[in-house]
Each structure stands twice: as structure tokens, then as C-alpha cells.
Amino acid sequence: MNNTHLFILAFLFVLMQPKDVFSQTYARNGMVVSSSEIASQVGIDILKKGGNAIDASIATAFALAVTHPSAGNIGGGGFLVFMDSAGVTTTIDFREKAPLNATTDMFLNDAGDVSTGTNLYGNKSTINHIGAKSIGVPGTVAGLYLAHQKFGSLPWADLVQPSIEIAKNGFPLNWGLYRAAIFFDDNSPVLFLRNYFRKDNGEITQFGEIWKQPALANTLKEIRDHGRDGFYKGRIAKEIIKFMEEHGGIITMVDLEQYIAVERKPIKGTYKDYEIYSMPPPSSGGVALIEMMNVMELANLDTIEFNSTAYVHLVAEAMRRAFADRAEYLGDSDFNPDMPLDKLTSKSFAKERFNHIDMTKASVSDSSKFGQLYDGTNTTHFSVMDKAGNAVSLTYTLEHSYGSGMGSSQLGFIFNNEMGDFNPQPNMTNNSGQIGTSANLLQPGKRMLSSMTPTIVAKDGKPYLVIGSPGGRTIINTVFQTVLNVLAYDMYIDQAIEAMKIHHQWLPDIIYYEKMLLSPDTRKALEAMGHTLVDRDELGELMGIQVDRENNVLIGASDSSNPNGAAIGY
């Protein structure tokens, strides 16, 4: 056999590899998987310097605020789930809060309805997502600082410094950012975004050109030098308040001074031998995820083929029920001390829910009871593991892509429009998807209900799967299906991430499915059962790590739906 034969054999071997293996990164010592290759590298560099998973997460989060500004942020909020190498798990809640001057009816017009306006993208949107009043008190800096105080090991300044350098020296504008730059140049109703991607000479930064953010670099320096106070007090805080006063926002200095991030007990559930840890309220993600996993545990999935009619029906029915319960019960736990979290995540409750699923026909979502609201389009998740086996699952957001689009040119960062996650209109729940239940009504100082679902699954008491996604309410369902794919259908993390997904959120009563997922026959069969089906381009942008303990290796996978994402290990 000569070299040509060997080459042909090698080529055939490559062709014969299973097609459903996408992109796996293997590493022994640490892994960071995020929506930005630059930010993943920042995290890995911190791990290599001896930082732990929390240190790397803080550095990655600041880096994403520079390189992935549609969702990476210091002007928004989010959640961190942390499991140490011994399996001890906790969470940090740094969700935004309603300003103290907010009122329950602040987004209602004289007729008592929520008015609509035009959002950053030229689309009609409810007014609670538009303008300076849509900005919640940001939580990200407080959350990262609290994580550092409790669990960090390297000096805080070392974790902020890499992002200062990227903001100051710039990085090549990628295709996604370039598309945003030209879109906002032509269309943005918000001046800040029209100027956001410009160079010193006033021209828009072109694809591949270096984009610098000097104002953001200066803001990050304050945070580097003064920690939490660098954002919530002093020069930055004064500039935030000046901005609010000039643009009709209602955040005051008292809101900034009083903002605190909170350590909370995770929501915990099990699926067979696995333990699942996720975010408690003010996220609805953990509760809904556990409820759905409990329902699926009751089904004999060995007899239900992946993506079959029975599979889609069962998964959609589990989603329908979890989302109805979400709407009925969940909100900020500081304002709703009596939420039945134990009940919702119990095996007996799942049994009630499971027993009411008819495997021959679709249930009907009844809007006279509960519903849901607008679906946002951007958030970002990353997963980190270090050499010692500590794991971090972190999702944070500005709510919509580029949030409110508003910001001060002195500060260089974008404010969220998270106030849109509150239920804006008491008692108004309808089939088109508005929710008016009380747990998540707007109240001063309250955190708005979230769907972000940063999750860690443990096996034998140690991190096994670290996972999360952006996608508004679809987050809960894409994380759910990815976890199920690994735990019940034995997929590797990359297959589980890339596998096509569905989404049902109770109201509207529709199964959304990724275009390639369902064969015409399966669609027909589901329609015959009473389901309505609508296709979507894609669901989820999952960033995950799986631990192969037998071989002592970490497997990282970044969803191919984001070409800028990267799993980097060492």
C-alpha cells in the first residue's frame, strides 16, 4: 500500500465518521465555552495563571461586555450557578431591580392598556421595552463582585484588566457586529447606537477593522480600581444618574447605592441517578426545568424514539404544563415568600401533571387562566470548569439584543430594557400571550421574572454537565431538551446541543420547531392530534461542558448557531 492508498483510506475514514458529531473540544485542565472566542480565551488565560472557575468567569463576563455587547454587559443582570469540586452548589442572583420610583401601572395608558411603540429594530413593541423607563437597576457588576468576594482567588484587578485592554486597543469587528453597525446606522431611533460602532473620524467601523471602545475602557478602569463601588458610587454612578435625568429615566442614586446581589440556594431536582441544580426565582428556569425533567422521568423514554411524533407530543405537553405553572406561581421570591417551589419541583406533582397528558391528543391551553408575554432575542451564556473540578454556569442579559440601546457616550456601555420582563397589566392574560398574574407584577425594588436557566448536572456528587442558553422563554426549553438529550438519549454534549429543538410555552398554543426537525409525516400526525405547528430558523445558542470522568477529560461544545462562539480548553 503506497501513500496514495493511505491517503484515500484516511479520507474514507473521515467520511465514515458519524455525521452527528459536530465540534468537540477536549481538555484536561480547564475549559471555557462562550459566545465570543476572544472572551473564552480571556477566561482560559486566567485559568492558566492559576485562577479558579469563578475568577475565569468574572474575567469572561467582563470580556463579553466588550466583545459581545448585544448581550454581554455591565448594564444588565443575570445569574451564576456555582458547583465546587466537592459538589457543593450555590447561586448568585444579580438580576436587575425595578427602581424605587417605579409603579405597578407605569406602563399603562389612560385606558388602562399597555401602549405600544417602535423598538430599536423598527418593530412594534410594548412600551415597557422602550426608552429610559425600560431600564432596570443594573446588577452585573455587583454580582461579579460578590462572586469574587465569596469564591475568587486572584486579585479583582487582574480579572478586569484584560477587558480594559481589549476595549482600549480594540479587536477586529466580526460579521455579526458589523451587521449591527450598519443596521443601527440607518435605523436606530437611539443616537447612542448610531454612534456606537464609529471610529474617531466619525466613520462606521468596517467588517474586520479594529473597533475600539475608549469610554468603556475608562468605565472598566473605575470598576477595576474600586470594585463594586466603582460602578454604584462615584463618577460612573453620577454619570448614570445624569443620563437618567436627561432622558426621562427613573433610576436614582439611592437605587444604585442600595442595589445588592444575593446568594441564593439553588433549585434542586433529580433525573434517575443525576442531580440537577439550577437557578431559583427570580428565574423561572430552574423550577420549570425540574418540573419537566420529573415528568419525563415518568415516561418510558426507552420506547419513545427521539424526534418521533410521540416524543414531540410528550415534550410539548410537558412544556405546556410547566409554562402554565410558571405564569401562575412565579416571581421574585423577595416579594412572593409563599411560592410553592417544593411542590412544583416534587415527584408527586410531576405525577399529577404526567397523568393528565393524553398520548393520543393535544391538551388545550386555556387563556382564561394564565399566559405569557413578549419573547426577547438576546442574552448570553457561558460555562467554565477549572482543573480542580469547580464549575460555573452563568447567563446574563440586557433583555433585548442591545437592550434599550441607550447609553452615555461618557460611559460607553448599553443599558438593559429588562423592565419589559414584568407583567405590565394586572389581570390581563390572553391567548395571544400576555400575562397579568400577580407574582410578577411590577413593584418598586422587585426583580422581574426571568427565564434564564444556567444549570449544572451532577453525577456521583460531582459536576457532569454545565449548560445554558440565551433565547427568552425558549431558554428553559432548549436547556431542558439538551439535558434530556444527554441524560435520557445518551448523546454527547455537542450532539445534544446541535440536535433540533421544539418550543411550547403554553400560550400561544403552538409548537415552534426548528425547520429541519420534523418530517412532513410527523407534522401531519401531530396536527391530527390537535397541535398547531410553526417553524423557526433556530432555537437556542447553547454553550456547554460535559465531564468524561472515566477518561478524565472535559468535553466543550459551542452551538454552531453562533459562528463567533468557542469552546477553548487547555
Instruction: Give the active site residues.
Output: 379
Give Cβ neighbours of residue 9 (< 8 Å, ≥ 6 apart). Answer: 1
| C-beta closer to ligand DON: residue 259 or 354 | 259
Residue 421 sits in the site that holds ligand DON (CB under 6 A) = yes
Q: In 3D, which of 378, 264, 379 has the Cα closest to residue 332?
A: 264
- By beta-carbon proximity to ligand DON, the closer residue of 84 and 399 is 399
Closest distance between ligand DON and the C-beta of residue 559, in Å? 12
Q: Which is nearer to ligand DON, 282 or 407 (CB)?
A: 282
Residue with smaller CB distance to ligand DON, 309 or 451 = 451
Shortest CB 397 distance to ligand DON, Å:
5
Binding flag, residue 475, ligand DON (CB under 6 A): yes
Near ligand DON by CB under 6 A: residue from 471, 556, 565, 569? 471
Among 425, 450, 478, 522, binds ligand DON (CB under 6 A): 450
Q: How far is the CB of 398 from ligand DON (least distance, A)?
A: 8
Q: Say if CB 154 and CB 114 are below 8 A apart.
A: no
Cβ(393)–Cβ(266) under 8 Å? no
Q: List strands edge to edge, sheet with 533-536.
A: 502-503, 511-514, 533-536
Nearer to ligand DON (CB atom), residue 293 or residue 452 = 452
Q: Which stretch binds ligand DON (CB under 6 A): 100-108, 197-205, 314-322, 464-472?
A: 464-472
**Count, residues near ligand DON per rule CB under 6 A:** 15
Separation of alpha carbons 300 and 88, rounded Å? 31
Q: Under a CB-based contact definition with an 8 Å cutoff, are residues 406 and 247 in contact?
A: yes
Q: How far is the CB of 377 from ligand DON (least distance, A)?
A: 5
**Residues between 340 and 399 with contacts to ligand DON, criterion CB under 6 A:** 376-379, 397, 399
Closest separation between CB of residue 215 and ligand DON, Å? Answer: 25
Whole-angstrom CA distances from 463 to 29, 58, 196 are 14, 19, 40
Give the residue, chosen from 34, 188, 434, 451, that forms a contact with ligand DON under the rule CB under 6 A.
451
Q: Checking DSSP bridges between strand 455-459 and strand 462-467, what pairing results, if any?
A: antiparallel
How many CB atoms within 10 Å of residue 490? Answer: 9
Count the Cβ atoms, other than its own, within 10 Å of residue 410. 15
Asked if 470 touches ligand DON (CB under 6 A), the answer is yes
Distance CA 482, CA 558 (A): 13
Name which of 95 and 320 has its Cβ closer to ligand DON.
95
Stretch that binds ligand DON, among 306-314, 444-452, 526-534, 546-554 (CB under 6 A): 444-452
Contact of 145 with 154, CB cutoff 8 Å = no
287 touches 326 (CB < 8 A): yes
Identity at 333, one-letter amino acid code: S
Residues 312, 504 contacting (CB under 8 angstroms)? no
With CB under 6 A as the contact rule, the residue among 66, 452, 517, 567 that binds ligand DON is: 452
Contacts with ligand DON, residue ranges (CB under 6 A)? 376-379, 397, 399, 418, 421, 450-452, 470-472, 475
